[in-house]
Amino acid sequence: MTSTFPNVSISTERLVLRPLDEDDVAALAAMMNDEQVAAWTSVPQPFTEDGARTWITEYAPAERTEGRGLDFAVTEFLTQRLVGVIQLGKTNWRVRSTELSYIIAPWARGEGYASEAALVTARWLFSDQKFERVELRTAADNTASQQVAQKIGCISEGVLRNACIARSRAEDGTWTDVRTDFIVWSLLPEDLEGVGGRLPGGFTSFGDWN
């Protein structure tokens, strides 16, 4: 029997992490068309609203029900505006490990939302889901993503050489693939000791959503 993540919502003082829904289509498409997202992810460009709808109604539900991972919409608690996305993937239920990634909308950067959302997700994984390892991979030149990993207490484990394909925009506006390295980070339950004083820590999780 395949293990799966519950369909939950998690909240902090500033954020609510919840399942993606069709009301997120326009905001998700706009976020995925940002140049930084295009540079550091494999998201198709341009990213259409049809693509966002497929992600929300087909891809994300399949990832959860088939046991591979879980996608969270990250929203502001007060405005309910879509701040970003947290993804869990490549989940190994026997080892109790999963890979975590994050994308933040350009208007919301610089507010600490990525680290807050990543940290509350990790705490939920370790406490509620009894996971033992969270893994992150950041492109070698993506310093902003690396700062998030360091801020939440991740330990750098090494480099996967030539394992990442980033993208660079050419003068004619087209995107060109650029091969680079992945830095591998890990987070274990004991790594979170002492992090609580630096970042918003408490969270509340709510039961299965329909």
- pLDDT at residue 2 in the model: 64
User: In what order do the strands lie in the sheet containing 175-187?
Assistant: 155-169, 175-187, 133-139, 97-104, 82-92, 70-76, 15-18, 9-11, 204-206
pLDDT at position 201: 46
Question: How large is the angle between the packed helices 143-151 and 113-127, nearest 10 degrees?
Answer: 50
Alpha-helical runs (H) found in the chain: 25-32, 35-40, 49-54, 60-65, 113-127, 143-151
What is the rounded distance in angstroms from the CA atom of residue 129 to the CA atom of residue 96?
Answer: 9
Looking at residue 170, its pLDDT comes to 82
For residue 208, the model assigns a pLDDT of 44
The region that residue 9 occupies, defined by phi over 0 for left and psi between -120 and 50 for alpha, beta otherwise, is: beta
Low-confidence ranges of the chain (pLDDT < 50): 1, 197-198, 201, 206, 208-210
Give the pTM. 0.90
Write the pLDDT tens digit of every residue in 161-207.
999 999 988 888 788 899 999 999 999 999 998 775 445 545 555 45
